[in-house]
Structure 1
Amino acid sequence: MTDRADAGKGLLREEGLMPLFEHLGELRKRIIYVLIVLTIGLVLGIVVAEPAYNYLMSQEPADTLQLHTFSLWDGIGMYMKIAFVIALVITLPFTAYQLWAFVKPALKPNEQRSTLKYVPLALIMFLIGLAFSYFVVFPLAFNFTRTVAGHLHLEETYGVVQYFTFMFSILIPISLLFELPLAIMFLTAIRIINPNRLRKMRKLAYFVLAAIGVTVTPPDLISDVLVIIPLVALYEFSLWLSGLVYKKQIAADAEWEKEFE
């Protein structure tokens, strides 16, 4: 009886725990790679933070402002915020590749090739989101806050850290939301979600996107609509892309079944 129990434990250890530990070890390795690249990106970000700062300060609305420091650490804080965004841009496609490499063993050869194409698109979509949030959403939000301050007859004194914190609190969430089409395509390709499930989640998705849009924009109807409509369109575009991937999967599965009949 003891021998059987030991054998059962050994079998469980061999077939259950070992694969689990292997997956955890692989995940740990991928995370370490991402952290290394993030660190390198931060160093590069610090190097180019000054020219990036000069560019941002030459654009509206910063070119009309006189920014101040309220702490000895504000200059360093500004450098680190800009460096972090630059590091995020550098690290994002590498993170997408590491995610692909982690799930690659579970994918068929054709699925591996199709999902690998998403890696460079991750950077492109993030940059599109960055441009949209910087040139459209951020000016709306900033001008609204200045209007409110003017109505209250408040003297405007802006800190450099507060300015960039406000900017990046808008830019980063919206830029990451622009990864939604790629994320949905990838999850569809590895058969975690499908367009039918996304259609059932449509109302919930609209509510979440609307909540995000209202949160990052001024509380006026025009600003909300200018942000919410692109986010909803992004979800519908993601749903359409998911449908394309799903149809290809069904066709591939049908061919595979014919081969083994």
Structure 2
Amino acid sequence: MPLDQELNEDYGEKEMSFLDHLEELRWHIIRSLIAIAIFMVLGFVFVDFVFNQILLAPASKDFATWKGLCALGEAIGKPQLCIDDIKLELQSRYMTGQFTITIVSGLIIGLVMAFPYVAWEMWRFISPGLKRGERKGSRGIVAAISLLFAAGISFGYYVIAPLMVYFMVSYQLSPMIRNEFDITSYVSTLVTLVLGSGLLFQLPVVVYFLSKIGMLTPQFLRKYRKHSIVVLLIIAAIITPPDPLSQTLIFIPLYLLFEVSILISARVQKKRLKAEELERLEEEKARASKS
């Protein structure tokens, strides 16, 4: 059997030139951009709802997070968890400020809503370069990426964002300084926190692929577990008000994410070493049969 035919059967796809790959990538990107544009249009149509009920919601005392914390505080005898009000004052200091925020609001909805489809398009481009066994082992990866992104977005929006907004609004260096924030600054901070959280929750996926190619091991992750705990505690302290409960709400999910990544890395390494051992035994058997 010719070598190129053997390779094609192994990968299960026809051989393509570099230009063919570029053309394929171009169409995946175009379809992804079309999906983002469609959801952007929906964001523009419902811009009032997006801005007032989604983007401004974490700065309201009636937000679900604050209601939940207040109920928890009443249950455990910590009435200080109930807040009276969030005195957020927003201004638009630039002539194009509010129009820019309208565009940004639509873009945010487009990116978030189209993310699963974009991930699927990128996977369709990458998967033909994998062997059949690798594709089989990576089955469900798009669903995992989408679910982790949704979990990260939810965590960032319902936990990190409201705590961060409350802390920044309440923080005062001097009574002579009045907190008045620009709408662009508020929205960019909120979007950075929420989308950053969504990307941070992709850690298990990144660990999975790095472990699959042998660049990352569970031993390495366990070795630096204590360092990771310190880093996560610092992150929790920076982005939350200075109270232990808020910091714990941030720290626990991030730490669980790290521990899950270790388990994933260990499982992948076990399968990879087993496959390498089987391949070695087959090579020895083949050499023995020839001799």
- What TM-score, normalized to structure 1? 0.73
Match of 2:47 among 49, 54, 71: 49
8 Å contact kept, 1:115–1:189? no
Q: Would the alpha carbon gap of residues 28 and 205 (structure 1) be closer, same or farther in structure 2, given more than 3 Å must change? A: farther
4+ runs of 1 displaced by more than 6 Å? Answer: none
Listed one character per residue, the Cα deviations across residues 156-178 of structure 1 (whole Å, up to 9, x for unaligned) are 44443332222112211122101
CA distance in 2, matches of 1:198, 1:101: 30
Aligned to 1:152: 175
Give the SS at the match of 1:149: coil
> Where in structure 2 are the equivalents of 1:3-42 lying within 5 Å?
23-42=21-40
8 Å contact kept, 1:111–1:189? no
Give the SS at the match of 2:138: helix
Q: CA RMSD in A?
A: 3.5
> Where in structure 2 are the equivalents of 1:198-217 lying within 5 Å?
198-199=221-222, 202=225, 209=232, 213=236, 217=239
- What TM-score, normalized to structure 2? 0.67
1:78 maps onto 2:101 in alignment: yes
Match of 1:227 among 243, 246, 250: 250
Give the Å deviation of 1:183: 2.3
Range with greater deviation from structure 2 (85-94 or 21-30): 21-30
CA distance in 1, matches of 2:136, 2:47: 36
CA distance in 2, matches of 1:230, 1:57: 23
Listed one character per residue, the Cα deviations across residues 199-227 of structure 1 (whole Å, up to 9, x for unaligned) are 45656755665665555x14746355543
Q: How many residue pairs end up in the alignment?
A: 243
Identity over aligned residues, as a percent?
Answer: 29
Match of 1:195 among 218, 221, 243: 218
CA distance in 1, matches of 2:205, 2:46: 29
Aligned to 1:59: 57
Give the SS at the match of 1:174: helix
Structure 1 unpaired stretches of 5+: 1-17
Aligned to 2:156: 133
Higher percent of residues as helix:
1
Give the SS at the match of 2:93: coil
Q: Would the alpha carbon gap of residues 138 and 58 (structure 1) be closer, same or farther in structure 2, given more than 3 Å must change? A: closer
Match of 2:131 among 108, 120, 125: 108
Structure 2 unpaired stretches of 5+: 1-15, 62-85, 286-291
CA distance in 1, matches of 2:210, 2:32: 20
Give the Å deviation of 1:67: 4.0
Aligned to 1:9: none
Give the Å deviation of 1:117: 0.3
8 Å contact kept, 1:38–1:91? yes
Aligned to 1:15: none
Listed one character per residue, the Cα deviations across residues 78-119 of structure 1 (whole Å, up to 9, x for unaligned) are 222222222222332233223323332332323213324010
